[in-house]
Amino acid sequence: MKILLICNKAPWPPREGGPIAMNAMAEGLLAAGHQVKILAINSYKYNIPVESIPEEYRDKTGIELVFMDLRVKPLAALKNIFTDRSYHVERFISKDFSDALERILKSGTYDIIQFETLFVTPYIDLIRRFTKAPVILRAHNIEHLIWQRLSKGEKNPFRRWYLKHLADTLMKYELDTIKKLDGIVTITDKDAEFFESYLEKQKVIAIPFGIQPEKMAKYTGYKGEEAEMSLFHLGSMNWIPNQEAIRWFLKEVWPTAYSQHNNLMFRVAGREMPDWLATISQAGVINDGDVPDAVEYMHKHRVMIVPLFSGSGIRIKIIEGMMAGCAIITTSIGAEGINCKNGEHLLIAETAGDFISCINRLVEDPDFAKELGRNASEFVKKEHNNSYLIKKLESFYNALHR
């Protein structure tokens, strides 16, 4: 098959959740013998020089990047308050991107057109003008659910009202848009159930994030004994749910945990650190910033902390951490979409007291921490093998052509 992937970010380099998921999809399809073409957005926040992408990758994917100014503009955001349109989505409408997409569609035929995330779906009508190929959304999240959860957790009344407005308009767009598509590929079963409540069941399939079998060796090529007993969080820190999570952990959990284990360190790493975290001087907290190799970083530290209380979809960094053999403490929201067992593959905590109890258990019983990591790694090998998952996707594609 010839497949066009339309992405909200460049899949290369695969250094954060969205690009990692998109790159795994592209590489899985290529490995299965399909042709893949990528059209993606560059922005001020996530700008990838095309010449920095390996030549082999450019040749295989024909990747094209179109710059789009996605910065929030105060006047446009203010005007949007008085409409029922999603400001999140409106920022992704661009003539340059439309022109590039039209040129690509005119220059070749495709068997599948796949949007990677909801935000690039404003181009459905344009695509329908030039092809009869099935148009699919790969839904990385239920997007409006992220903003609903953020609004419910916000204490400032005006900010809570504004976040609810963003959530409501995004929900309207999301539910209207899915009816225009030929199919939806979700990353979790729970997300699939949500979309199935609005669509025919055969149009929706859940295919989790996968890791190429040949790349699993990089994750599993370490022995747990080599990792130091330290806590860490690794993720894109320009994502609001991650910022919310770390603020809460540093305020509600870490002071008590550190007072009980004053040799224990909590390390924070990731892209786009906010100023308040980049300059933090809290006792026992180390900011490692943007690390060059996420897998190597995970191998050095034993316990991954993911205290998410908002968000949707699947946390790819948790999957990677499990594959790397880390012991992981997260919330039920953090573990959403991962068919794992609490106490066997990771630990689930909901309150500050829960997190402290889990930390104490792992610090005081390092053998259990190692066992948890080994179980997690074996789980990912079985449940997130990309070769198997791509076969499921191929069957779904073929069914849409009947």
Q: Are residues 225 and 336 in the same domain?
A: yes
pLDDT band for position 223 (50/70/90)?
A: very low
pLDDT at res. 302: 85
Query: Mapping DSSP to helix (H, G, I), strand (E, B) and coil, where does residue 319 land?
Result: helix
Q: Are residues 160 and 15 in the same domain?
A: yes
- Region of 270 please: left (phi>0), alpha (psi -120 to 50) or beta: left
Q: Which residue has the higher pLDDT, 101 or 222?
A: 101
Question: pTM of the entire structure?
Answer: 0.77
Q: Are residues 132 and 224 in the same domain?
A: no
Q: Are residues 235 and 112 in the same domain?
A: no
Q: Are residues 52 and 101 in the same domain?
A: yes
CA dist 114 → 138, 161, 267 (Å) = 7, 34, 37
Which token pair is 13?
């380099």
State the CATH number of the domain containing residue 319. Answer: 3.40.50.2000
| Listed ranges 143-157, 175-189, 206-220, 225-239; the one with the highest mean pLDDT | 175-189
pLDDT at res. 226: 58
Give mean pLDDT, residues 75-81.
89
pLDDT in tens, 380-397: 988 888 888 999 999 999
As to burial, measured by CB atoms within 10 angstroms (0-12 exposed, 13-18 middle, 19+ buried), residue 171 is middle
pLDDT at res. 211: 83
366-383 vs 316-323: helix crossing angle, rounded to 10: 110
pLDDT at res. 238: 86
Give mean pLDDT, residues 112-131.
97
Q: Which residue has the higher pLDDT, 182 or 189?
A: 182
Kindly tell me if the per-residue pLDDT of 261 is higher than 90: yes
Q: Measured between alpha carbons, how far is 160 from 166 in angstroms, rounded to an integer?
A: 10
Give mean pLDDT, residues 274-282.
92
Q: Are residues 237 and 286 in the same domain?
A: yes
Q: Are residues 204 and 287 in the same domain?
A: no
17-31 vs 316-323: helix crossing angle, rounded to 10: 70
pLDDT at res. 312: 64
pLDDT band for position 310 (50/70/90)?
A: confident
pLDDT at res. 240: 87
Least confident of 36-50, 307-321, 349-363: 307-321
Least confident of 51-55, 188-192, 227-231, 286-290: 227-231
Q: Measured between alpha carbons, how far is 114 from 6 in angstroms, rounded to an integer?
A: 6
Contacts of 262 (CB under 8 A, 6+ apart): 284
Give mean pLDDT, residues 282-302.
92
Mean pLDDT score across all residues of the chain: 92
Q: Are residues 73 and 98 in the same domain?
A: yes
Q: Are residues 175 and 226 in the same domain?
A: no
DSSP code string of 280-307: ---TTEEEEES-S-HHHHHHHEEEEEE-
Q: Which residue has the higher pLDDT, 223 or 212?
A: 212
**Percent helix, strand, coil in the chain (nearest 5)?**
50, 15, 35
Q: Are residues 194 and 317 in the same domain?
A: no
Query: Mapping DSSP to helix (H, G, I), strand (E, B) and coil, where does residue 25 land?
Result: helix
Q: Measured between alpha carbons, how far is 62 from 216 in angstroms, rounded to an integer?
A: 26
Kindly tell me if the per-residue pLDDT of 134 is higher than 80: yes
Query: Mapping DSSP to helix (H, G, I), strand (E, B) and coil, where does residue 238 land?
Result: coil
Give mean pLDDT, residues 190-206.
91
Q: Are residues 141 and 236 in the same domain?
A: no
DSSP code string of 323-345: HTT-EEEE-TTTTTT----BTTT
Kindly tell me if the per-residue pLDDT of 108 is higher than 70: yes
**Residues of the chain with pLDDT > 90: what percent?**
72
Number of domains in the chain: 2
Q: Which residue has the higher pLDDT, 296 or 359?
A: 359
Kindly tell me if the per-residue pLDDT of 225 is higher than 60: no
pLDDT in tens, 34-75: 999 999 999 998 999 999 999 999 999 999 999 999 999 989
Give mean pLDDT, residues 248-271.
95
pLDDT at res. 227: 65
Which token pair is 289?
């910033």
Q: Are residues 192 and 236 in the same domain?
A: no
Query: Mapping DSSP to helix (H, G, I), strand (E, B) and coil, where does residue 269 land?
Result: strand
Query: What is the residue type of 367?
Result: D
As to burial, measured by CB atoms within 10 angstroms (0-12 exposed, 13-18 middle, 19+ buried), residue 397 is buried
Residue ranges of alpha helices (H) inside 36-73 are: 55-61
Which token pair is 143?
């997007």
Give mean pLDDT, residues 140-161.
88
Contact in structure between 62 and 35 (CB atoms under 8 Å):
no
pLDDT at res. 224: 47
Give mean pLDDT, residues 327-335.
94
Kindly tell me if the per-residue pLDDT of 197 is higher than 70: yes
- Region of 131 please: left (phi>0), alpha (psi -120 to 50) or beta: beta
Residue ranges of alpha helices (H) inside 108-208 are: 124-130, 143-153, 157-178, 189-196
pLDDT at res. 316: 84
How many CA atoms does the CB half-sphere of 23 hold within 13 Å? 19
> Can you give the residue range of the structural domain that contains 202?
2-210+385-400
